[in-house]
C-alpha cells in the first residue's frame, strides 16, 4: 500500500539490509536518500534500482559517526528532497574478536558507527520532526544486542545501546507525534553473514526455528510497517526478525 510521500533517509543504505529498506520505502511512495560512506558505486546501484521500480531516490555521502559529516548530509538531503521525516539508522560494522584480544580501536570503531551514529543522526533530524509534529525514527539493532554473542562484545554492547536509546527517546518525544522503534535482525543473507563461511552459516541455520537464514526484504518489511500509518500507535518497541533463533 502506498503512503503519502515523505522524505526518508536510510543510513548505510547502499547494500544488504539498507538497500532492501530503501526499496521498500520507495515502493510505499517515499522519496529516499541513500546514505553511504565509501562505496559510491553500490549506492548508485541502489538509487538506480529504486528509480527503475518507479521510485525517487538520491545518494548522499557521509560518515554517520562524525558530527560535522552528519550535519552536512542532513543539509544535503534537505536541499535535495526536503526535511527528513523518516530516519532509518541502519549503518553498522563488525570488528569481532574475543575481549581479551580486542583492540581499543576495534571497540571504538564499532561503538562510533553502530551507536554514536544513531545519536548524531536522530538529533540532527529531530528539530524538523518536532516542528512538524510528525516523524518516524527506526533503529536497526540486532539479536546480539538482546542476547549477546561471544566474540562480539563491542557489537552487542552497541546494539543493546541502540535498544536503550530507542526506548528513552520514544519517551522523550512521543507527545509530539514522533515514534521511535527498533528492529533486531537475526542471521540475514548479507555480506556480513557471508563472511562467516559455510560451516558457521550451517551451524547458525541449525539454531533457527524456521530452518533458514532470513532475507533482507523480510527485515525491510518490518521497517516499512513501522514507518507506515498502520504503526502510528507503536513506539519504544523492538521487533525481532530472527526466524525463531532466540526462542
Backbone angles phi, psi at 89, to 5 degrees: -85, 90
Q: Active-site residue numbers?
A: 155
Residue 135 pairs with which residues in a beta bridge? Answer: 178
| 235: its cell numbers | 513506539
Gyration radius of the chain's alpha carbons? 17
Q: Please report where in the chains the cell 509530539 appears, as a residue.
A: 176
Half-sphere exposure for 202 (CA within 13 Å, toward CB): 3
Q: Which residues contact 74 (CB under 8 A, 6 or more apart)?
A: 9, 84, 121, 124, 125
Look-up of cell digits 532466540: 246
Cell output for 244: 525463531
Distance CA 170, CA 235 (A): 6
Contacts of 157 (CB under 8 A, 6+ apart): 111, 115
Amino acid at each position: 500500500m502506498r503512503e503519502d510521500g515523505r522524505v526518508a533517509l536510510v543510513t548505510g543504505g547502499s547494500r544488504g539490509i539498507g538497500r532492501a529498506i530503501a526499496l521498500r520505502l520507495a515502493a510505499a511512495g517515499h522519496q529516499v536518500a541513500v546514505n553511504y560512506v565509501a562505496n559510491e558505486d553500490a549506492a548508485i546501484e541502489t538509487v538506480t534500482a529504486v528509480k527503475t521500480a518507479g521510485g525517487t531516490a538520491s545518494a548522499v555521502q557521509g560518515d554517520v559517526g562524525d558530527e560535522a559529516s552528519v550535519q552536512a548530509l542532513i543539509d544535503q538531503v534537505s536541499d535535495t528532497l526536503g526535511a527528513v521525516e523518516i530516519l532509518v539508522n541502519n549503518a553498522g560494522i563488525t570488528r569481532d574478536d574475543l575481549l581479551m584480544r580486542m583492540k581499543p580501536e576495534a571497540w571504538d570503531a564499532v561503538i562510533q558507527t553502530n551507536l554514536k551514529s544513531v545519536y548524531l543522526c536522530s538529533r540532527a533530524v529531530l528539530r524538523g520532526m518536532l516542528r512538524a509534529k510528525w516523524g518516524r525514527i527506526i533503529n536497526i539493532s540486532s539479536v546480539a544486542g538482546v542476547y549477546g554473542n561471544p566474540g562480539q562484545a563491542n557489537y552487542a554492547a552497541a546494539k543493546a545501546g541502540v535498544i536503550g536509546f530507542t526506548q528513552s527517546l520514544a519517551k522523550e518525544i512521543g507527545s509530539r507525534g514522533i515514534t521511535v522503534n527498533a528492529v533486531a535482525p537475526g542471521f540475514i543473507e548479507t555480506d556480513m553473514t557471508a563472511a562467516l563461511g559455510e560451516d558457521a552459516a550451517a551451524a547458525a541455520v541449525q539454531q533457527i526455528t524456521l530452518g533458514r537464514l532470513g532475507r533482507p526484504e523480510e527485515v525491510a518489511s518490518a521497517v516499512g510497517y513501522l514507518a507506515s500509518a498502520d504503526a502510528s500507535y507503536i513506539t519504544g518497541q523492538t521487533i525481532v526478525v530472527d526466524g525463531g533463533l532466540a526462542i
